[in-house]
Amino acid sequence: MESIGFIGLGKMGSAMAGSLLRAGFKLQVYNRTPEKAAALVAQGAKLAHEPSDTAQPGGIVITMLANDRAVEDVVDGDRGFVERLGPGGIHLSMSTVSPRLAHRLAEQHERYGVEYVAAPVFGRPEAAAARKLWICLSGSTTAKQRVRPILDSIGQGTFDFGEESAAAHVVKLTGNFLLASAIEALAEAFVFGEKNGIDRNSLADVLGGTLFACPAYQTYASAIAQQLFRPAGFTVELGLKDVDLVLQTAADSRTPLPLAGLLHDRFLAAVAKGRGDFDWSSVWLESAENAGLSVDDKHVE
C-alpha cells in the first residue's frame, strides 16, 4: 500500500480517512484545526503541519474540503501541495466543488505533471464510516486505475463518467440538487399534512413504505417527522453552498433551473435566521413558520 496524503478532516473526511487506515493505507493527514486529527493519529496516521507536507513526489493527495476556496488554499502557494507532488502525482478531489474550479485546477496541475481526478461522493458520515459511499469518478484512464484501490476501500460502488475533469462534479451537483428538491417537497408535504390533522410520524411511515420507498425520502422524512435537526449530517450552510454551485453552473451552461432559485431562497432564509448549522432537512422549519405552525428551534435535536 502506498502512502497517501489526506486533507480535510471534517465528519466526512475523518470517516473516510479512518476507512483507509483500516484498509492498510499509510496516511499523512492535514487539517486546519490539528485537534481533529488526533483520533486518526492514534490509529497510525502521521500529522502534517502544512498541506505540502502531505505530498510525496509522484504520490497521491486526497482533498475532502467544504468549498472551492478551501481547496484552492491547500493546492496553491508556498503551503500548497501540487508543486511538490510533481510529475506522476495525482490530486484525488473528493470535495463537492464547482466544475469551473475543476477545469481551472486540471489546467494548472498539468503544468506540474499532476493529474486531476474528480471523485465526489454521495452519502452521509455514517455511510462513510461503513464504507458505503457511492462515488462519481472522472479523469484520465491511467490515473483512475491507480486510485481504484482507494475508492474501493471507502465506497460500495463507483460510477465512471469519462475523462472530462469536471464531469463527476456535475453529477454530484445534480444529485445534491435532487436531494435538496426532495427535502423541500417533503417539508411542504409534512406541513400540509400537519395543518390538516395528520401525525408526522404516521405520514413518514406511509410515504416511506409505499410510494417513496427509497433512501432519500425515507431518511429525510424520518428526520422531519422526528425533528432530528441536530447534530447535522449535512448542514443548511453546505446545502446553500451546493445550491449556489448548481446555479453558477447552470448560468455557465445557459440552463434555466427555476426550482434551484426557490431552494436558494429557502436555504438563505434559514441561514439568516441562525440555522446554518442545522441539518438541511430543517428547512421544514421555514415551511412550518410560513404556515403559522408553532416552531421552537431552540430545543430541536
Active site residues: 172
CA distances (Å), 174 to each of 122, 123, 181, 241, 242, in order? Answer: 11, 14, 11, 14, 10
Phi, psi of 105 (to 5 degrees): -65, -40
β-pairing, 3-7 with 90-93? unpaired
Map grid coordinates 447534530 to a residue: 231
CA atoms of 203 and 222, how far apart (whole Å): 10
Phi, psi of 73 (to 5 degrees): -65, -35
CA atoms of 234 and 280, how far apart (whole Å): 6
Which of 243, 241, 242, 225 has the alpha carbon at shortest distance from 281? Answer: 225
Q: What is the CA radius of gyration of the chain?
A: 20
Which of 166, 70, 55 has the alpha carbon at shortest distance from 114? Answer: 55
CA atoms of 246 and 238, how far apart (whole Å): 12
If DSSP codes are grouped into helix, strand and coil, which group holds residue 138? strand
Residue 94 grid coordinates: 473528493
Pair 119, 166: CB distance under 8 Å = no
CA atoms of 190 and 213, how far apart (whole Å): 16
Phi, psi of 96 (to 5 degrees): -90, 100
Query: Which ranges of 43-91 would DSSP assign to H, the alpha helix?
Result: 68-75, 82-85
If DSSP codes are grouped into helix, strand and coil, which group holds residue 93? strand
